[in-house]
Structure 1
Amino acid sequence: MKRRDLLTLAPAALAGCAVPARACTLRLDETLVATAYREWAAFRAYINGPATKGMKNTEFNPLVEELDGMGLALLTIPAESAADFIMKVIASTDWGQGGMPDITELPELWAEARALVGVSQ
């Protein structure tokens, strides 16, 4: 994690979160992907937990859309390790419930995958 990344994340960590279940603690020992994944996982637990039981679809669907957006946003953060890449896959597919963008939709992701396994093409 670079100094600039810390400065970018610090205001969010200090400001708190709109959704109570979100993890907003800034951790210096994790990658940007891991931080974003942790926030995605906490929000996923929130929307699948007791706070949203009985919620009307008109209230619940925007939460699901936000969760999906968080997963897709994760794909744009460069992975620093294979674990980061796997976290990106988990969040962007919601544990395999959705599909991954193909190489024409997000070539950077697949270039990253090739680099992680040491394949040039």
Structure 2
Amino acid sequence: MNRRALLAAAPAALVAVPASALCIIDPADTPVMRLFREWQVLNDYLNGEESDALPREAFEAELRRLYRMEIELFETPSQTMTDLAAKVISITVDSEREMMGPAVIPEFWAEIRALVA
């Protein structure tokens, strides 16, 4: 197939692709929001009934993975206030825990101040 044939076929190829396939990753998503969505899926799974069937070792391994995701989430700089809100949700686990103060997570509070200033 030559270049002209490829260019002529391109519009038809786009029509043949379902719209949902084009939206796998939202380009407007920030790195924080991508991490947050992954965290949320794992957190929901570990707090759901399905995780009851996991052997103890597997459950603990998933908890360690969740903790590593939380660290990565907090180490990723926020770009928007939505990023910041996602971090608050993850650190309070949907407000099940108290928010930690500046003495515990000073970098996070510095980030909050920088975004609000």
TM-score, scaled to structure 2 = 0.65
Q: Distance in 1 between matches of 2:45 and 2:115?
A: 32
Q: For the Cα contact (< 8 Å) 1:79–1:85, is it kept in 2? A: yes
Q: Distance in 2 between matches of 1:64 and 1:95?
A: 16
Give 1:70 shift: 1.0
- Computing the radius of gyration from Cα coordinates, the structure with the larger value is 2
RMSD: 2.2
Give 1:55 shift: 2.1
Cα distance change of structure 1 residues 77 and 95 upon mapping to structure 2, 3 Å threshold = same
Q: Distance in 2 between matches of 1:26 and 1:108?
A: 29
TM-score, scaled to structure 1 = 0.63
Q: Distance in 1 between matches of 2:55 and 2:81?
A: 39
Q: Distance in 1 between matches of 2:38 and 2:68?
A: 12
Structure 1, 25-34 or 95-104: larger mean CA deviation: 95-104
**Greater relative contact order (Cα 8 A, min sep 6): structure 1 or 2?**
2
**Whose helix fraction is larger, Structure 1's or Structure 2's?**
2
Q: Distance in 2 between matches of 1:95 and 1:31?
A: 20
Structure 1, 99-108 or 83-92: larger mean CA deviation: 99-108
Q: Distance in 2 between matches of 1:55 and 1:113?
A: 37
Q: Which amino acid aligns with 2:94?
A: W
Cα distance change of structure 1 residues 94 and 72 upon mapping to structure 2, 3 Å threshold = farther
Give 1:45 shift: 2.8
Equivalent residues in 2 for 1:25-104, closer than 5 Å? 25-49=24-48, 51-104=50-103
The percent identity for this pair of structures is 30
**Displaced runs of 4 or more, over 6 A:** none
Deviations 1:83-103 (A, max 9, x none): 110101111332233454532
Structure 2 unaligned segments of length 5 or more: list them. Answer: 1-23
